[in-house]
């Protein structure tokens, strides 16, 4: 579980040809993928950016956003054939797959993502995982970072079932309020709520990436049925997403502006989501990390004893690899793509 992998690519960007790479206009109608999203959320930032930049069309693909209320609704839509891709979440995917559902992780969205926030009273007392022992900790149940932290604490022999209390609340704003009102000593927040917590006077104690680098967070989920019927479209989808990732690193101004326009959020929020470091963007399925998170859920008692989970069946690493290889052939000197290849080998074997 503690095997580390650097998820944010390093190195110089090869800029020549990026804006024009992949303009593969094809005869006939483009393939269609229906992809879930919640309103104007940019949690799946590279999917939104690829869409707004026109990269899907350049790859010969038409992506239609399907509005969903929550992740469970998204998975249900995939299970009933009404949607092809859910680019967010991991907990419902693992849960539904463990129950025997046809769900396959085939790409990444975000790694890490969670952080612990505290009030001034605890800002000098809480710096690491060990410092959480014995505290009351507010959290939202379907969230990866507190689940990983709880499992790590248990593995390290800390008391997580007695003196340490994980108190579940109904949302990340409620976590912030619990810490502010001192009904909790610390809290786990995710997504843009780290920024909101700081604006409301709380302090970031540490990030989940500090104790488990590359910790799995949102993945891209589809079904084996969709893979069988639309595999080429899924490769094009990942290719466009990788191009958006390169743009995000090479041209932050364009990336930020596009996502501001789509979401209606201000620059500070978008820059936090893309570049703060709490959330690390990654398109890699990271099978090793997904398997580790399955063990976390099992360790915490969230997986049924008759689990149907099968890492070979429920995680596909070939679609991303084909997209990565194809883009590397177009941009053979791109240092980021070379780094992503190294990460792929670390994350999936």
Domain ranges (residues) in the chain: 31-111+216-348, 114-211
Q: Are 172 and 140 in contact (CB under 8 A)?
A: yes
Say what the pLDDT of residue 141 is.
Answer: 85
Say what the pLDDT of residue 300 is.
Answer: 85
Q: In this model, does residue 17 exceed pLDDT 70? A: no
Band the pLDDT of 191: cuts 50, 70, 90: confident
pLDDT in tens, 303-324: 989 999 999 999 999 999 999 9
Band the pLDDT of 12: cuts 50, 70, 90: very low
The per-residue pLDDT of the chain, averaged, comes to 91
Residue that wins the pLDDT comparison between 19 and 216: 216
One CATH from 3.40.50.12160, 3.40.190.10, 3.40.50.2300, 3.40.50.300 for 31-111+216-348: 3.40.190.10
Say what the pLDDT of residue 7 is.
Answer: 32
Q: Which fold has domain 114-211?
A: D-Maltodextrin-Binding Protein; domain 2 (3.40.190)
Centroid of chain to Cα 234: 18
Q: In this model, does residue 26 exceed pLDDT 60? A: no
Say what the pLDDT of residue 278 is.
Answer: 84
Do the domains at 31-111+216-348 and 114-211 have one common CATH topology? yes
Say what the pLDDT of residue 277 is.
Answer: 84
Stretch 191-206: mean pLDDT: 94
Q: In this model, does residue 254 exceed pLDDT 50? A: yes
Residue that wins the pLDDT comparison between 166 and 278: 166
Q: Are 134 and 159 in contact (CB under 8 A)?
A: yes
Q: In this model, does residue 30 exceed pLDDT 70? A: yes
Stretch 194-209: mean pLDDT: 95
Read off the pTM: 0.88
pLDDT in tens, 96-123: 999 999 999 999 999 998 999 999 999 9
Token digits for 103?
Answer: 């769900």
Q: In this model, does residue 4 exceed pLDDT 50? A: no
């Amino acid at each position: 579980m503690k095997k580390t992998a650097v998820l944010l690519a390093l190195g110089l960007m090869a800029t020549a040809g990026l804006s024009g790479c992949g303009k593969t206009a094809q005869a006939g109608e483009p393939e269609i993928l229906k992809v879930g999203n919640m309103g104007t959320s940019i949690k799946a930032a590279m999917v939104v950016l690829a869409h707004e930049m026109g990269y899907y069309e350049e790859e010969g693909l038409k992506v239609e956003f399907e509005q969903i209320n929550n992740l469970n609704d998204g998975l249900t839509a995939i299970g009933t054939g009404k949607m092809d891709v859910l680019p967010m979440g991991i907990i419902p995917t693992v849960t539904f797959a463990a129950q025997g559902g046809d769900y396959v992780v085939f790409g990444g969205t975000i790694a890490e993502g969670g952080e612990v926030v505290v009030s001034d009273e605890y800002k000098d007392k809480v710096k690491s995982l060990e410092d959480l022992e014995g505290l009351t900790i507010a959290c939202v149940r379907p969230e990866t970072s507190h689940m990983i932290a709880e499992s790590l604490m248990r593995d390290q022999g800390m008391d997580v079932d007695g003196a340490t209390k994980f108190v579940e609340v109904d949302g990340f704003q409620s976590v912030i309020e619990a810490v502010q009102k001192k009904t909790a000593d610390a809290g786990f927040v995710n997504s843009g709520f780290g920024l909101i917590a700081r604006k409301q006077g709380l302090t970031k104690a540490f990030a989940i990436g500090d104790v488990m680098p590359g910790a799995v967070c949102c993945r891209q989920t589809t079904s084996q049925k969709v893979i069988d019927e639309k595999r080429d479209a899924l490769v094009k989808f990942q290719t466009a997403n990788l191009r958006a990732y390169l743009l995000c690193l090479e041209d932050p101004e364009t990336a930020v502006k596009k996502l501001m326009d789509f979401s209606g959020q201000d620059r500070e929020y978008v820059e936090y989501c893309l570049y703060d470091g709490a959330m690390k963007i990654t398109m890699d399925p990271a099978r090793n990390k997904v398997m580790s998170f399955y063990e976390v859920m099992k360790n915490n008692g969230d997986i049924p004893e008759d689990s149907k989970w099968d890492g070979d069946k429920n995680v596909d690493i070939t679609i991303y690899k084909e997209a990565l290889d194809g883009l590397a052939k177009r941009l053979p000197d791109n240092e980021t793509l070379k780094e992503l290849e190294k990460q792929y080998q670390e994350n999936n074997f």
